[in-house]
Structure 1
Amino acid sequence: MTSASHRDARAHDAIGETPGRRTPPVGRAGVFQDLLPLALWVVDADGVLVQWSLAAQDLLGHTSEQMVGQDARRVLVPEGHLELADGLSRTVRTGAAVVARLPVRHRDGTVVDMELWHCPIADVRGRPGVLAIAAETSAVERMRDALAALEGLFTQSPVGLAMLGADLRFLRVNEALARMDGVPVAEHIGRRVTEVAPGTEALESMMRRVLDRGEAVVDHRHTGADAADPEQQRTWSCSYAPLLGAAGQRAGVIASLIDVTEGQRAHLEVERARRRLALLAEAGTQMGSTLDLARTAREVVRVLVPRLADSADVQLLEEAVAPDETAASAHGVVRRVAAAFTDPAAPADHLSVGMTQQVPPGSVYEQVIGAGRPMNLYLSDIGPLIPTPGADRLREYLRARVGCARLVPLVARGTVLGAVVVTRTRDREPFDDQDTLLIDELVARAALNIDNARMYSRERDAALTLQRSLMNPVLPTVSGLELTGRYLPAGDHEVGGDWFDAIALSGGRTALVIGDVMGHGIHAAAVMGQLRTAVRTLARRDTAPDQVLRALDAAVADLGDNEMATCLYAVHDPVAGHCLIARAGHPPPMIADGRGTIAFLDGPPGPPLGLGGQDCEVQRMVLPPRSLLVAYTDGLIETRGTDLDQGMRRLAQALRHPGHPLEEICDELLAHVMPETADDDVAVLLARAQPR
């Protein structure tokens, strides 16, 4: 083996290599491989290169085979820097280590500015040689800047920062994170997150997933007690990323925490405001959808519970909703008309709808109702809400489970109608100012809706009373005809101006009348009463059918431009066996003969009453024995989405047994033709011709 070969072998052995196999040299080990590559070479006492690392090859382009045995000064030192290089070598050979910046020649002829550590080392003969450890100056500066930035980030950042190892124990934390945890920096090191901040098991599990999967988590919101004030809650935005080692392995986790409590509170306030607006909008569509008082109260409860409260109890003063003649006897009595309690522990036997109770003088309830102003109640104040004797179990439940309540009077148009009690259990935050404003607004709207329903109910009752007094539903017994009739208002809350009548005339004849006044309520019923009276007066004067309608047209026109009605007037003559019929805008009657053949009266209906210029055509219709005449108002056959022709076909199909008793036929027609949800009131008049 030549001397050069011996030098090459020694060089390979010194840097941990064997011929034919390359292993990572010292200069490429550890974090320096990625952060700061270090080149290494050794020069003996003669200035000859005896070792050249792979990192040196990467940085300067020369292979070990090319460099070992070469004069280091000639190959590496550029012109103009020889004197500096010689001085450094002399200093090192005296036994001193020197750090200096020196340009070094690259294989391609360019010059690389490098930071060099010159250290004394004995060569194979024991003479003073030089060990050079070099790094590219730009890389050193980048690393220095990065370390300075990292240091500044940890020491100055208001963001909580931490580095954790693969065992998820703290390696480093900054002061900001220590303040968030309420634990000094030194007491973090070597400890797990759950040991420093109890209750953070979910965060530690999240960091374990980040470490296992190598996927970062950004802006996970965590809420916990404030270290400085455990009674207060704070929210942090937590982000975690894997900490990678030199070979790309996951060596730990980088954590950052930002206190976003104020921003979170602002976001929650915005969200709560949005929900409040949505609730108000929903209340506008849900509350007062009908003029039914009980249903309106239930709608109030559905809006309040459970989104705004855990219970809602609507109680009305009996004197506010009772008829005038009974109001005095109901003074101070409230009736529960709607209630909802989400808590299953609530004693239902004391909270059932329909219960009444006397408001005790001097109680909280009386104060609220008397003053017409709402009141918040807490804990011990809850008991007086229940004045009912023997309600000790309910009082105990309220004291044990209810955390807060608000008692709001139902005030509409200056009148106190009752009160609404809303509560929250102790599991929920008490009502804040925004909650109480929203509750009061909803109850104020509910009061108007309930008052509308209350007044409408009174008006409807008055209209029904008036209508019953003006329209005698009992038909007379007449010659040659069997009669029956029905009047049905549009649902439970609408009264209109439909009517029917039968009037005995001279010579055994009978006048049959059915009419429909446009509109609903007391006014329509009053107009109906006037027309019915006018018809009876005209009929008894033996006025012809067309003249009757002409007179009614003038009477309706005299009532005002907005009045209108339809009417059918017929005179049955049992001797002649026919009817004379005139119509003013009214649907045609249906006739079924004894064999069940069905037909509708042909001919024009004429204009409705009230339009003026009435010119009605009188039609003659044969009505043989056992034949049936069915007269009706348009509410029976006309609904939204269907026309009169469709309704008339349904009516004809429903008349299956014209020979049955009239009451059965009437029930069957109403059951099969009457719409489930009536838009208008309905009157039906049936007349069957009798054999002579």
Structure 2
Amino acid sequence: MTSASHRDADVHDAIGEMPDRRPSAAGHAGVFQDLLPLALWVVDADGLLVQWSLAAQDLLGHTPEQIVGQDARRVLVPDDNRELADRLGRAVRTGAAVVARLPVRHRDGTLVDMEMWHCPIADAQGRTGVLAIAAETSAVERMRDALAALEGLFTQSPIGLAMLGPDLRFLRVNEALARMDGVPVAEHVGRTVTEVAPGAGSLESVMRQVLDRGEAVVDFRHTSSTADPERQRTWSCSYAPLLGGSGQRMGVIASLIDVTEGQRAHLEAERARQRLALLAEAGTQMGSTLDLTQTAQEVVRVLVPRLADSADVQLLEEAMAPDETAASAHGVVRRVAATFTDPAAPADYLAVGMTLQVPPSSMYERLISAGRPMNLYLSDIGPLVTTPGADRLREYLRARVGSARLIPLVARGTVLGAVAVTRTRDREPFDDQDTLLIDELVARAALNIDNARMYSRERDAALTLQRSLMNPSLPTVSGLELTGRYLPAGDHEVGGDWFDAIALSGGRTALVIGDVMGHGIHAAAVMGQLRTAVRTLARRDTAPDDVLHALDAAVADLGDNEMATCLYAVHDPDTGHCLIARAGHPPPVVADERGTVAFLDGPAGPPLGVGRQDFEVQQMDLPPGSLLVIYTDGLIETRGTDLDQGMRRLAQALRHPGRPLEQVCDDLLAHVMPEAADDDVAVLLARALPR
């Protein structure tokens, strides 16, 4: 199109043909709102703006309050285009409607290229004004390109293509698809698949599954039902949900390829590419967590429905059970994840959580012993099933299952269980490439499941170690009421945070809290060593700074990569003073009876393990009724959150310290601790009693 930015351009150069589709004069244009936002404004005969739409505000930045009443020529028209704009205005005022591509000035001074419709309209005095309807040029061109691409795809593609609505009736088909099923294009529209091609009920079922789940199905094979083998044709059918602008499922997109003859080689190459893509996708989908059950469910989601119609993950109880109970679970498998897309499957006998006894001398037992996958045939299925209701299950398998494969879950030389996959008789049996891909996916899944299994065992061991090393009960001490909490970062994490209170001579009390870098058994073990060292030093009446010196040396002896933070305080009930030394630890906070909150000033000192450093001893007063709170950084600090913001939340949570101490602690954690904690949290509260 000729650009309207040239000052000497003729009006006819900027005026284009009126579009074939005229805009609706009333109602809410949902399609335009989603695909082509249209701005609208009205200029009266004096050139003043009298109407300005919200879409115009979105595109050009001016609000109606700012622009209504302004001179449209001065506000919107660039200086270089005012002469052209005047000529367009005169043309419209003669009663003509014109279309032009013009730059319009945005509120920020930039120019926005727009395709505009200028129409005559009567203003409030009955004079001829101008109605402008405008769309951003780039948006118009994108929509034109998209429509051209869609039209080209349907008219030129040799692949059969169709669009179906939410009722699974044809909205549009191309000539290639019409030739495939021998029915004219016009006779497809408004009809279902089975009305056009009787015997294609399996295709309709797959499309309903795609519509319900919102997940694509690729390479579903369908063979035409005819008694003459020479006339039978096989199609590779792929279906994907048709999504609206806001993501809602509006129907199904179908593509069909005749693979009976020359296209089979091309289809196999495409399937090979899809298998590689599935392998890449499986690398991101499987093993995303170290939760055993979720990992097994991820395996099922990768396999079904793209590779199989069912997947059943079963784990050996003896591989999952603790060592002392493994012998009693010999030969027992538990179903931990399963999906069966066939609605005829007897769900009562295929429920997740069921345990099965592996029949002696069966193929299942031989598979577990040998650790090699195998295809199953109808004669093999019966002996595999020993559950209650086995006869009904065997009947289903023999009637509906066309092919099946049993693959052992082998990781690091140990058989953990097996995965059974099947395809119904409506689908092409597994070929060699399918079995290679399935075996590879199951082999990867076995490693992920074994990682989750070992992690669960390590976490259980770390929890046991931590609980044995960190006694959560606090002593009764002179002059203080105590309570504390330890919260791990999540169900699958345990770390090295701890707190303690130690009765000293003269009625004094040592309060300590620390945080070992890292998680797992090692962090818990280091925590136990530091806790023991602190208690030993405290009972020798060691000064707070000397305690930290000793701990610093102890952490340094553990290795260059070890590091921890610690706060050590000694409270004297006779004076109400607390002597405090810190090694890289967050500052303690004191709230008095009136709710006045103060954090300890001064440097935090270096963390333990950095090397021998000077640790400063500070003093805080703890009057009767006041509350001292010491904590680890997980309480106030999270990834992406400002540290000062966490300290402000902590201060606000202590505005009413006079409530029961347990309630204060619970409310503090509820209001300060983030919903998704990145780190463990330990907190110790001490309230000074009347002297």
The alignment's TM-score, normalised by the length of structure 1, stands at 0.64
Residues 380, 655 of structure 1: alpha-carbon distance in 2 compared, 3 angstrom cutoff: farther
Contact 2:475-2:501 within 8 A present in 1 as well: yes
Alignment of 1:625-640 (within 5 A): 625-640=624-639
Residues 627, 263 of structure 1: alpha-carbon distance in 2 compared, 3 angstrom cutoff: farther
Matched, 1:269 2:248: no
Alignment of 1:575-590 (within 5 A): 575-590=574-589
Greater Cα offset, 447-456 or 658-667: 658-667
Q: Output the amino acid matched with 1:383.
A: G
Q: Output the amino acid matched with 1:411.
A: V
Deviation per CA, 1:591-640: give whole Å up to 9, x if none: 11111111211110000000012211111000111111111111122111
Name the structure 2 match of 1:205.
184
Name the structure 1 match of 2:657.
658
Contact 2:591-2:655 within 8 A present in 1 as well: no
Q: Structure 1: 5+ residue runs without aligned partners?
A: 1-198, 210-221, 237-257
Residues 227, 666 of structure 1: alpha-carbon distance in 2 compared, 3 angstrom cutoff: same
| Cα drift, residue 328 of structure 1 | 1.0
Distance 1:322 1:285 in 2: 28
State the SS of the aligned residue for 1:483.
Answer: strand
Residues 656, 358 of structure 1: alpha-carbon distance in 2 compared, 3 angstrom cutoff: farther
| Cα drift, residue 223 of structure 1 | 8.7
Name the structure 1 match of 2:498.
499
Q: Output the amino acid matched with 1:300.
A: V
State the SS of the aligned residue for 1:275.
Answer: helix
Contact 2:597-2:655 within 8 A present in 1 as well: no
Alignment of 1:511-590 (within 5 A): 511-590=510-589
Name the structure 1 match of 2:359.
360
| Cα drift, residue 676 of structure 1 | 2.5
Distance 1:618 1:200 in 2: 89
Alignment of 1:307-326 (within 5 A): 307-326=306-325
Distance 1:260 1:517 in 2: 63
| Cα drift, residue 342 of structure 1 | 1.3
Distance 1:474 1:332 in 2: 43
| Cα drift, residue 227 of structure 1 | 11
Q: Output the amino acid matched with 2:454.
A: M
| Cα drift, residue 391 of structure 1 | 2.2
Residues 604, 263 of structure 1: alpha-carbon distance in 2 compared, 3 angstrom cutoff: farther
Contact 1:293-1:454 within 8 A present in 2 as well: yes
State the SS of the aligned residue for 1:411.
Answer: strand
Distance 1:278 1:572 in 2: 64
Contact 1:593-1:628 within 8 A present in 2 as well: yes
Q: Output the amino acid matched with 1:511.
A: A
Distance 1:229 1:372 in 2: 40
Distance 1:332 1:494 in 2: 32
Alignment of 1:309-458 (within 5 A): 309-458=308-457
State the SS of the aligned residue for 2:486.
Answer: strand
Q: Output the amino acid matched with 1:583.
A: R
State the SS of the aligned residue for 1:616.
Answer: coil
Name the structure 1 match of 2:679.
680
Alignment of 1:102-251 (within 5 A): 202-203=181-182, 205-206=184-185, 229-230=229-230, 233=233
Distance 1:517 1:405 in 2: 51
Matched, 1:460 2:439: no
Greater Cα offset, 267-276 or 352-361: 267-276
Name the structure 1 match of 2:594.
595
Distance 2:427 2:259 in 1: 23
Contact 2:359-2:383 within 8 A present in 1 as well: no
Q: Output the amino acid matched with 1:349.
A: D
Greater Cα offset, 619-628 or 636-645: 636-645
Name the structure 2 match of 1:103.
none
Percent of pairs identical after alignment?
Answer: 86
| Cα drift, residue 309 of structure 1 | 1.1
State the SS of the aligned residue for 1:382.
Answer: helix
Deviation per CA, 1:245-292: give whole Å up to 9, x if none: xxxxxxxxxxxxx99854421221122122211211111111111111
Distance 2:538 2:570 in 1: 9
Residues 316, 558 of structure 1: alpha-carbon distance in 2 compared, 3 angstrom cutoff: same
Give aligned pairs, total: 461
Matched, 1:509 2:508: yes
State the SS of the aligned residue for 1:684.
Answer: strand
Distance 2:183 2:327 in 1: 70
State the SS of the aligned residue for 1:230.
Answer: helix
Contact 2:223-2:232 within 8 A present in 1 as well: no
| Cα drift, residue 395 of structure 1 | 1.7
RMSD: 2.4
Residues 200, 527 of structure 1: alpha-carbon distance in 2 compared, 3 angstrom cutoff: closer
| Cα drift, residue 228 of structure 1 | 8.8
Distance 1:534 1:427 in 2: 70
Contact 1:225-1:234 within 8 A present in 2 as well: no
Q: Output the amino acid matched with 1:382.
A: I
State the SS of the aligned residue for 2:376.
Answer: strand
Contact 1:382-1:405 within 8 A present in 2 as well: no
Distance 2:517 2:184 in 1: 73
Contact 1:335-1:357 within 8 A present in 2 as well: yes
| Cα drift, residue 527 of structure 1 | 0.5
| Cα drift, residue 390 of structure 1 | 3.6
Q: Output the amino acid matched with 1:297.
A: A
Deviation per CA, 1:339-393: give whole Å up to 9, x if none: 1111222222212221112111111211111110111113342233322244222
Name the structure 2 match of 1:162.
none
Distance 1:490 1:353 in 2: 29
Distance 2:358 2:412 in 1: 22
The alignment's TM-score, normalised by the length of structure 2, stands at 0.64
Alignment of 1:463-502 (within 5 A): 463-502=462-501
Q: Structure 2: 5+ residue runs without aligned partners?
A: 1-177, 189-221, 237-256
Deviation per CA, 1:281-325: give whole Å up to 9, x if none: 111111111111111111111111111111111111111111111
Q: Please say which structure displays the higher CA radius of gyration.
A: 1
Name the structure 2 match of 1:159.
none
State the SS of the aligned residue for 1:280.
Answer: helix
Contact 1:487-1:498 within 8 A present in 2 as well: yes
Contact 2:566-2:608 within 8 A present in 1 as well: yes
State the SS of the aligned residue for 2:184.
Answer: helix
| Cα drift, residue 514 of structure 1 | 0.4
